Structure 1
Amino acid sequence: MNHEITGKAKGGKALAEKMTDEQKHEKAMKMVEAKRTKREMPRATHKGELKIGDTSISCAVLSNGDRVLVERSVALVLGRKGGGAYWKKKKEELAPILPEFVSANYLKPYISRELEEKLLAPISYIGLDGEVYKGINANVLPEVCDVWITALKDGALKDTQKETAEKAYILFKGFAIIGITALVDEATGYQDEREKDALAKILEMFVASELQPYLKTFPPEYYKGLFRLYGYEYPPKDKRPQWRPAYFGRITNNVIYSRLAPEILPELKKAASKAEKKGKLHQWLSSDIGHPKLREHLASIVSLLKISKTKEEFYNHVDVAHPKFNENYTLDLEED
């Protein structure tokens, strides 16, 4: 029985008949390349909705272990629905452009080069339904929130834009209840399938066996925040530019290294004690995993410093947002 071709199939057949052999070959090659690219994309193994208060963000855990948030979902939660001009520019621009939730010109002064690079390279992956999605690494969202919070603090936003900053602050406070990675794992059910030695593997990735070249890792904002909370003038007068109280080192051990990865602080101290030439603890972090994670953690700590009015409030925020790994003791952080 002969079946009449109708609809899109009929239109496709008519178009194919008009194409030259060269055009058909080019189209076939593009289809092969598209299929190859899709095959190489990571696939979602778990998906869910990340609920914080009355907000919800679509999220997934990928086959390579990445935790991602659907890019469009983030924009909707922040109330940044890109208008026609944005989508026209996104379609016409050959180079990638920033997501709609940070694309405004008034936000540019608050977006670091590192954050810009992350946002310009979204993660493409195959969802459980077989469709292609674009997402951002879950760890990037607190940095995005900080952009809006800082812009609001500096008075760079109009009344119509302040609502987004307020939503960003709500999200940021939500992250202070529980770490973003653990929250995504819980929303997707992935926490039940994590390997028992997952934390040990994190430690293995973090600590490098050889000394890394010295990098200026700690931003001025970190020490500026500590100086403010402890009542010191910043930058310090009548002292060398790099001066800071000796007990700030104990504070850094507490809020940074004790919370970066399981058992990371004693391992770093062990590596430092064996070295002939002493250096900063972060010099023994691996460049591919350790330093990027340290910078992400520092960005979060700096944000907590900015929103804290007292030392006590700051440490409460840190304890909630970044609890120590398997440690129940507290450090005396006051000056001797």
Structure 2
Amino acid sequence: MKKPKVISSGVLEIFNNLPCYVLDNGQRVFRLSNLTKALRDKEHGKFGNYLASSNIIKYLPNRLRPLTDEIHDRVPQGVIEFEFNDKIEKGYNSEDFMDVCSAFVTANLNNEKLSEAQQEIVRNANKFIMSTAKIGIIALIDEATGYQDVRDSKELQLKMKYFLVEDDIARKWEKVFPDDLWFEFGRLTNWSGSLKKRPKYWSKYVNELVYNLMDKDIAEYLRKNKPPKYNGHKKYHQWLNGEYGTKELTQHLWQIIGMAKACNNMSELKLLASQKFNKDINI
């Protein structure tokens, strides 16, 4: 049978530089051999073998559950052959890839015992799902309004990169943030859920009110590093008091908490913090 041909290609930088293709039959696909790197940010193991684990495969749609070939490797169903640069490549539908991401996230939510590699995939998969959801609604609005014809060609990727980065930065240091901060964020945003399961959009407030208002060098250090695993022992608190930047971070957090107590909503807090630190914040 005649193989579909690539009519357009590119690279999704925010999916760990994942090559992507549009075929002449309308399918959007990834090259199968690139998917492990997309999920783990390194070439280690075959994509199908990760799907075949007993704690993952049951969360996949039946049509995507991998099969065993003659050399005992696991190969995912739904593999697409397509023509690119006069070669036949094996690909994977982009929508099926998102179903794979959902399977790993669901396994984690169901408290499956996951290996370190699987936990790494869960973290990446969760970021991809949350970020593409945000980008999806933006793209739909752009299509409905016609704005897609005038926006910058890289705008959606830039927005998604921001969504991924802001979440990473904010959550690295959350364990050292006082509960008082989350209480105030909850009050100012009318959050009625548990403060232990904080909404992801709060990470934007953390970046605006904490990292972007601190000393530039300290904020950069905090972005590139993360605290050790908390185990409740005194050693952790000794580290917190002596590690570069942590004292300044703690002082800054309590300043924000103090200002928050005098505010009725997040816009008021942003305005107050902007005036206090003489830096612009998007109100």
- Alignment TM class, shorter chain as reference: 0.3 to 0.5
Bigger relative CO (Cα 8 Å, ≥ 6 apart)? 1
TM-score by length of 2: 0.41
TM-score by length of 1: 0.35
